[in-house]
Amino acid sequence: MNLSNLNPQQQAAVKYIDGPLLVLAGAGSGKTRVITQKIAYLIQTCGIKPGHITAVTFTNKAAREMKGRVGEILGKKDSKGLIVSTFHNLGLRILRKHHAKLGYKDGFSIFDATDSLSLIKGLYAHDSSSNVDDAESARWKISAWKNDFIAPQQAIATADNDNDMRFAMLYERYQRQLKAYNAFDFDDLILQPVVLFEQHQDALQYWQNRMHYLLVDEYQDTNASQYQLVKLLLGVNARLTAVGDDDQSVYSWRGARPENLALLQEDYGNLKLIKLEQNYRSAGRILKCANQLIKNNPHTFEKQLWSDLGYGDPIRIIECGSADGEAERVSVEISTHKFQKRSKFSDYVILYRGNFQSRVFEKYLRELQIPYVVSGGVSFFERTEVKDVMAYLRLLSNQDDDTAFLRIINTPRREIGASTLEKLGEYATHRGISLFAACYEFGLQERLNERAINKLQGFADWINRLADQANGTDGVAVARSMVLELGYEDWLKDQSSDLAIAERRMENVNEVLDWLTRLAKNGKGESLSELVAHMTLMDILERNNEEQQTDAVYLMTFHAAKGLEFPYVYMVGVEEEILPHRTSVMEDSLEEERRLTYVGITRAQKELTMTHAAKRRRYGEDVDCEPSRFLSELPEDDIVWEGGGRKLDEETNKIRGRAHLDSLKDMLA
């Protein structure tokens, strides 16, 4: 293989296969190139068959990009059988093969966060001592326990206050109910494969024999369950390349443990460390600021980013009078800067700590007729009509899915009232069966009248008929027929304020069905239940729908910007209690907030501007704001301060004036 396009450290990382390897990859250091080239090296030079290599990352977008790059190097034929997936997709693959060993039936469902919350609320409804308002907190707590690989009994044994004990007891009931529904939640896709491997050595041996080499991207974002899964898959041979950067670990709120990088050293005494410190993205001055900021955090591994792209312009820090003043200043600057530089709108990004900050920037961008895209809008899967159709497909695949049953039993309306459903739910809970199964129970006649039972059984008969057809013939065709039989398009027309809206919503329904067809053609599953499981996982993983590429200014949070890069970056609201966040200040846990700031700085390729407001309106009154403490940690010689009564030096003013005049002359010419 020709590795001449890699620097010496990258080449060393690609070629080292004698033991476990940690590649400490700084921002913009070409880690994806290293992983893809290493996969090709393992296949072409080392003779490992693609089917024995697995690469794991955290997002579908990263997995697609990685697989695409490998395909470009090797061609589709030579990469056939290679597994490149997210952790959760890998977990789903394992559970598909071995779910019976855990006591699950074929056609299991996958619950997303909304489904889990609905289940918890249902459990609370039957417990007079619980407050249904706590349901969201309980869901987060249960998710955290699963990420930390803590079973219900462990949670009960270690609970040190009444609140945790309540949640732990709920966790046990929640898990029992999931099993009764023949369902896994999103966290189970990691937790349950670990449970499987610990209880069934034959299943573990199967996957260890299949994986001759494992590559894990973004290792600093792994939680305890993911770390345990990797450790089990590796076995004693530890044929591993882990790529990560502890300075970019910003997901502790969802269980990520940057200390997992250090744990590798403890678990594997022969671990080799290779640092990628050459940055191919940013100007030298930007990297100097990033290095000086992040050195204030404690480190297990030291590194220093550098670049040969030139030193670049000073970092600008602008004080604005108010939140409106800040938004107006940034919007005008982008308009003027684009005019001067002949750049594109998509070269600019406005980064903020919380989504609430975007609204005022949107207002001023609209006023200046600047196109923009807000990352994290309503995703395709969050649309009501899409969730309805997905619920029908889920129930078709798994009749024990109570969450799907409750969503669609009256959509469109079937004259099945809330009282009927409540009595059905009480009976099903008493009998320990699903709502669907309860529809056919003889004992239900003691609680419901004949008309209500006929309505329920009529719906259940219809679902059973379609499910039988889907098992015996083309499941995709059955799904299309189901939507027609439902009269869903007429239902949308009745529910929508005008015909155009109804038509747009029906287009979304048809997109779900077309997607189902494409998945079947692409071999993503043989049965309808397998296709639906794949779709549900995509739903969960791609909540933040990827916007189409367009020439527009991007607005996004620091978290959403991770992995991206832009020529011109505006970091806004760089103030105490925003960045760092108020909660982190109160808890004296500033390290992750500093890493988040570091991530923001290292998104910039050419120019970086930071802004903060002197006052902000909170709870109906103006309050004074302090600049973020992180600004004082940047190198003074590389910063130009503006606003707050400060005047630009004469030379800078002249340079800007000349640039503006030159731009006007060019336009007139």
pLDDT tens, position by position, 252-277: 877 888 888 889 988 998 999 999 99
- Is pTM beyond 0.95? Reply is no
User: Residue 225 phi/psi, 5° resolution?
Assistant: -65, -40
Query: pLDDT, tens digit, for every residue of 344-403?
Result: 999 999 999 988 898 889 888 888 888 888 886 555 677 889 899 999 999 999 999 998
Is the predicted pLDDT of residue 205 greater than 80, yes or no? yes
pLDDT at position 658: 58
Q: Say which amino acid occupies 283.
A: A
Residue 259 appears among annotated catalytic residues:
no
pLDDT of residue 521: 82
Q: Which CATH number fits domain 109-181: 2.40.110.10, 1.10.10.160, 1.10.150.20, 3.40.50.2300?
A: 1.10.10.160
Looking at the DSSP assignment, which residues form a beta bridge with residue 517? none
- Per-residue confidence (pLDDT) for residue 114, from 0 to 100: 84
**Confidence check: pLDDT of 656 > 80:** no
| Known catalytic residue at 32 | yes
Q: Would the pLDDT of 152 be above 80?
A: yes
pLDDT for 546 equals: 47
Q: What ranges make up the beta strands (E) of 160-234? A: 183-185, 213-216
Q: What percent of the chain has pLDDT over 90?
A: 56
Q: Tell me the three state secondary structure of residue 213.
A: strand
What's the pLDDT score for residue 470?
87
Task: Give the up-direction half-sphere exposure of residue 33: CA atoms within 13 A in the CB hemisphere.
Answer: 17
Alpha-carbon span 547 to 556, nearest angstrom = 12
- 550 classed as catalytic: no
| DSSP state letter for 314 | P
Residue 92 near residue 533, CB atoms below 8 Å: yes
- What tens digit of pLDDT does each residue of 582-619 get? 988 888 889 999 999 999 999 999 999 999 999 998 87
Q: Which residue among 31, 141, 338, 595 is the active-site one?
A: 31
Residue 542 annotated to the active site: no
Per-residue confidence (pLDDT) for residue 71, from 0 to 100: 86
603 is catalytic: yes
> Which pLDDT value is given to residue 547?
43
Q: What is the structure's pLDDT at 545?
A: 41
Backbone angles phi, psi at 612, to 5 degrees: -150, 155
Is residue 218 annotated as a catalytic residue, yes or no?
yes
Beta strands in 206-340, from DSSP E residues, in sequence order:
213-216, 240-244, 272-276, 315-320
Average pLDDT in the chain: 88
Q: Which helix (H) or strand (E) element contains residue 350?
A: strand 348-352
Say yes or no to pLDDT of 49 above 90: yes
At the top level of CATH, the class of 288-377+548-668 is: alpha beta
| Cα gap 475→393, rounded to integer Å | 10
pLDDT, mean of residues 133-139: 83
Which pLDDT score is estimated for 150?
A: 92
pLDDT at 376: 64
Examine the pLDDT at 101 and tell me if it is beyond 60.
Answer: yes
What's the pLDDT tens digit per position in 519-569? 888 777 678 888 888 888 776 665 434 444 578 899 999 998 988 999 999
Structure tokens of 520?
């079947």
Alpha-carbon radius of gyration of the chain: 28
Active-site choice (166, 353, 505, 603):
603
- 382-535: CATH homologous superfamily? PCRA; domain 4 (1.10.486.10)
d(CA 558, CA 596) in angstroms, rounded, equals: 7
Number of neighbours of residue 194 by Cβ within 10 angstroms: 23
Start and end residues for every CATH 3.40.50.300 domain found in the chain: 8-95+191-278, 288-377+548-668
Task: Mention the CATH class of domain 8-95+191-278.
Answer: alpha beta
Query: What average pLDDT does range 43-49 have in this prediction?
Result: 92
Residue with more model confidence, 430 or 645: 430
| Selected catalytic residue, list 115, 185, 187, 217 | 217
Task: Write out the residue limits of the CATH 1.10.486.10 domain(s) in the chain.
Answer: 382-535
Which of 304-313, 533-542, 567-576, 621-630 is predicted with the least confidence, judged by mean pLDDT?
533-542
* Percent of the chain's residues with pLDDT above 70: 92
Residue 131, SS3 per DSSP: coil
Which pLDDT tens digit goes with each residue over 397-445? 999 999 899 999 988 888 888 788 889 988 988 888 999 999 999 999 9
Residue 541 pLDDT: 62
Give per-residue pLDDT as tens, 451-475: 999 999 999 999 999 999 888 778 8
Mean per-residue pLDDT, 35-51: 93
Q: Give burial (CB, 10 Å; 0-12/13-18/19+) of 495.
A: middle
How many Å apart are CA 372 and CA 185, to the nearest integer?
35
User: What distance in Å separates the CA atoms of residue 413 and residue 411, rounded to the nearest whole number?
Assistant: 5
- Residue 337, pLDDT > 90, answer yes
Note the pLDDT of residue 525.
Answer: 67
248, 536, 597, 611: which is the annotated catalytic residue? 248
pLDDT top residue among 103 and 511: 103
* Residue with more model confidence, 16 or 475: 16
Catalytic residue, chosen from 115, 185, 188, 218, is 218
Per-residue confidence band for 577, with pLDDT thresholds at 50, 70 and 90? very high
Furthest C-alpha separation in the chain:
89
